[in-house]
Amino acid sequence: MSLISANPPLPTIDEFKPGGISWRGKLLLTQLEIIENGKICGLTSDNELPEGFLTWTRGLIIDKKEKLASKYEIKELKGDTYLFCEWKSGDYKFGGMQPQYYVLKKLK
């Protein structure tokens, strides 16, 4: 499944509005390719994610370097498929804040 970023990180999944104003600023995570057998390829605003940096399993995306597991959900909204993924930034890891959610839209 190929996905592109649809919005900046949101505090909750419920705040996402399909077809709403898209983010015009620079997003760190810009694209993900979810591949069989737990593989993920991706692009950030700066470069390509290193091979093996992220993996996935049912309901989780795993960041091996940071030793973080982020929940994800796939939802169909208004005829499009979206992946909602917890975004566990330094605010989460070091500041104890709740994770936000990246929203990525499936490419057709």
Convert the pLDDT of each residue in 49-96 to its tens digit: 778 889 999 999 998 888 899 999 999 999 999 999 998 877 888 888
The residue extents of the domains of the chain are 2-106
**Per-residue tokens: 103:** 């929203």
Q: The pTM is what?
A: 0.81
Furthest CA-CA distance within the chain: 38
The H-or-E segment that residue 80 falls in is strand 80-87
